[in-house]
Copies of this chain bind each other. A is one copy, B any other.
Amino acid sequence: MPDASPNPPYRLDADSRGVFVISATPFHPDGSLDLASLDRALDFYLHAGVHGITLLGMMGEAHKLTSDEGETIVRRGLARVGGRVPVVVGVSGGSLPAMKSLAHLAMDAGAAGAMVAPPYGLRTDDAIVGYMRAVAHALGPEVPLVFQDYPPTTGVYVSPACLRRVIDEVHTVAMYKGEDVPGLDKISNTRAAERAGGRRVSVVCGNGGLLLPQALARGADGIMTGFSYPEMLVQVYEAHVRGEPDAGEDLYDAYLPLVSYENQPGFGLAVRKEILRRRGAIASAAVRAPGPVLSRADLGEIDRLLARIERRSASTTR
């Protein structure tokens, strides 16, 4: 970082890359926001070496926050990160005016871009492209967009051709977050289209880390997800960049039992918060109601998974 300050804020663009961790939103056991833990979690992520941070993602329980709480987190989070890495803010949901208002507040506070998932109920290529055009128009040319393709939650399915249309027709889309499964072909197709002269965007995968080695091999520029050991993601990514994919994949495989365990829909969020709590990143593992609660058996499984990972990753990375 340069000393003489007039450090321009990050803006997502086609060359953005690396590991963007989706921040948990910490709550007190009574369900109220725990802003001190938000600071602590952000420090934890930065210490893990992440290349970016995402606030108000689905993993951040964004849909359970009031508008005011969302704004509070954006302001507090951006202040804490203090420009050290780019920060993406999820603005999905509600109306275009509400999305615009949140996105502009975030950009004014130093965010690098706004993430948008097409909402439940969009069901055809034209509907999806039309929605993203309308969002881009409403948010304006100064807001770089992440287009989140996450059908398990949104119920919206994006074909390779539709994705290409979004990239070609919506020029403020700077990053594609591909979480469709199967969906590796969409990464390959995006890279092939670029080689054929198409507009380039940054491509990241997600899904808690699932199929990360394959995604990187297909040309992904990184990953955006909330896995509870973000330093593993960073090391796998960096091994890939160094041209040592096998070393990265060995490490990845050591954590795969936990990646797989966290990937239980709905339930995984509670697992992640519990692990973040154990690791000192947040004070309470509370998920805001309504949400999953871990049983004694679940906690025992986490104990066992972490112990096994510790043993094995020690032997892998030594």
Contact = CB atoms under 8 A, between A and B. Distances in A.
A225 to B, nearest CB: 15
A95 interface: yes
A188 interface: yes
A158 interface: yes
Contacts of A31: 95-97
A297 B217 CA distance: 10
A260 interface: yes
A151 to B, nearest CB: 8
Contact of A95 (B124, B134, B159, B289): B289
A288 B253 contact: no
A68 interface: yes
A124 B264 contact: no
A68 B64 CA distance: 15
A127 B65 CA distance: 22
Interface size on A, as a range, is: 35 or more
Nearest to A160: B126
A290 interface: yes
A94 B64 contact: yes
Contact of A97 (B32, B157, B184, B217): B32
Q: Which 4 pairs, one residue from A and one from B, show the smallest C-beta to C-beta distance?
A: A124-B159, A123-B157, A64-B95, A182-B267
Given A32-B97, A125-B159, A126-B159, 13 more contacts: A31-B96, A61-B95, A64-B94, A65-B94, A67-B67, A68-B68, A95-B290, A96-B288, A123-B159, A124-B125, A124-B157, A125-B162, A256-B260
Interface of A: 31-32, 61, 63-68, 93-98, 101, 119-121, 123-127, 131, 134, 138, 151, 157-162, 181-182, 184-185, 188, 210-211, 214, 217-218, 246, 249, 253, 256-257, 259-261, 264-267, 288-290, 292, 295, 297-298, 301, 308, 312
